[in-house]
């Protein structure tokens, strides 16, 4: 067995379970992610860009992460979790209205970030659907980012062919942006 792979798999499963609050019945009537409207997709894109904005380096939009998030939801996520995501997405504008008096899309970049910070730090202030929507979107956006060609060639570099193994490597010498010492 490939034990290291299995281990990582266990960690991923544990993470996925934590995203799933016990409120699925209310979300049951929601459609799957494939049925989202253009406006809803736009809202997802705005949330993704708020999570990982363009700075001196590419952001969510530049790297196509909204598409990645929706694809992973549509293709690789059980329907109840998709429905929870859709239900939470449907509550985003109302939450933005309550905090800033306008929809998420009409909010300033700072207001968008403030709302997501609140969801990030105090999810208990929000419904389970909203909190779940936020956690899922955040995790998938991060996954898409760290799995992107840009990130894996320019930031924390992935090596297809390491050609070596050192089991006693000094942490002080690790340079993740160096093709020889990036992620495994």
Partner 1 sequence: MANLNIDSVKARTFDAIVIGSGMSGGWAAKEFTDKGLKTLVVERGRQVEHNKDYPTTNLNPWEFAHNGKVPQAMQEANPIASRCYVFKEDAMHFVVKDQEHPYVQEKPFDWIRGYQVGGKSLLWARQTQRWSKYDFEGPARDGFAVDWPIRYDDLAPWYSHVEKFAGISGNRDGLAELPDGEFMPGFPLNAVEEHFRQRVQKSHPDRHVISARCAHLSQPQPIHYEQGRVQCQNRTLCQRGCPFGGYFSSNSSTLPWAMKSGHLTLKPDLVVQTILYDEQKGRATGIRVVDTHTKATVEYYAPVIFVNAGALNTNLLLLNSTSHRFPNGLGNDSGVLGQYVAFHNYSARVFAEYDGLPDLTTDGRNPAGGGYLPRFRNVRKQETDFLRGYATSFGASRDLVQPAHGLGASLKQQLERPALGPWRVHAGMMGETIPKATNYVRLDSTRKDAWDMPLLSISVDYDDNDAKMKQDFFEQFTDMFTQAGFTNIRPQDSHQAPGLDIHEMGGVRMGRDAKTSLLNRWNQLHACPNVYVTDSACMTSTSTQNPSLTYMALTARAVDHAVRELKKQNL
Nearest-angstrom CA–CA distance, 81 and 99? 26
Residue 170 binds partner 1 (CB under 8 A): yes
Q: Using the minimum distance from each CB to partner 1, give the nearer residue, 6 or 124.
A: 6
Q: Which of 13, 28, 34, 57 binds partner 1 (CB under 8 A)?
A: 57
- Asked if residue 133 binds partner 1 (CB under 8 A), the reply is no
Bridge partners of 183, per DSSP, are 158
Q: Distance (Å, rounded) from C-alpha 84 to C-alpha 131? A: 10
Contact between 25 and partner 1 by CB under 8 A: the answer reads: no
C-beta separation of 59 from 113 below 8 A: no
Question: Minimum Å distance from CB 131 to partner 1?
Answer: 13
* CA separation for the pair 56, 63 (Å, rounded): 14
**Among residue numbers 142 through 161, which ones bind partner 1 (CB under 8 A)?**
142-149, 151-152, 155-156, 158, 160-161
The one-character DSSP state at 31 is P
Distance from chain centroid for Cα 146? 10
Phi, psi of 166 (to 5 degrees): -125, 120
> Which position among 14, 39, 76, 124 is part of the footprint of partner 1 (CB under 8 A)?
76
- Decide: is 169 part of the binding site for partner 1 (CB under 8 A): yes
What is the Cα–Cα distance from 126 to 98, expressed in whole angstroms? 11
Q: Does 37 bind partner 1 (CB under 8 A)?
A: no
Q: Which residues of the chain form contacts with partner 1 (CB under 8 A)?
A: 1-9, 11, 50-53, 55, 57, 71-72, 75-78, 113, 116-117, 120-121, 138, 142-149, 151-152, 155-156, 158, 160-172, 174, 176, 180-181, 183-184
């Amino acid at each position: 067995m490939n034990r290291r792979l299995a281990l990582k798999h266990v960690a991923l499963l544990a993470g996925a379970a934590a995203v799933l609050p016990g409120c699925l019945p209310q979300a049951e009537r929601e459609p799957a992610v494939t049925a989202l409207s253009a406006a809803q997709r736009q809202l997802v894109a705005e949330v993704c860009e708020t999570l990982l904005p363009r700075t001196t380096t590419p952001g969510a939009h530049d790297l196509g992460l909204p598409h990645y998030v929706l694809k992973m939801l549509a293709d690789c996520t059980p329907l109840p979790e998709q429905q929870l995501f859709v239900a939470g997405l449907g509550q985003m504008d109302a939450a933005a209205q309550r905090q800033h008096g306008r929809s998420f899309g009409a909010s300033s970049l700072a207001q968008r970030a403030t709302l997501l910070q609140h969801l990030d730090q105090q999810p208990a202030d929000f419904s389970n659907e909203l909190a779940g929507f936020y956690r899922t979107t955040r995790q998938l956006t991060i996954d898409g980012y760290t799995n992107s060609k840009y990130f894996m060639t320019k930031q924390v570099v992935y090596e297809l062919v390491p050609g070596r193994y050192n089991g006693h490597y000094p942490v002080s010498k690790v340079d993740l942006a160096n093709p020889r010492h990036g992620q495994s």
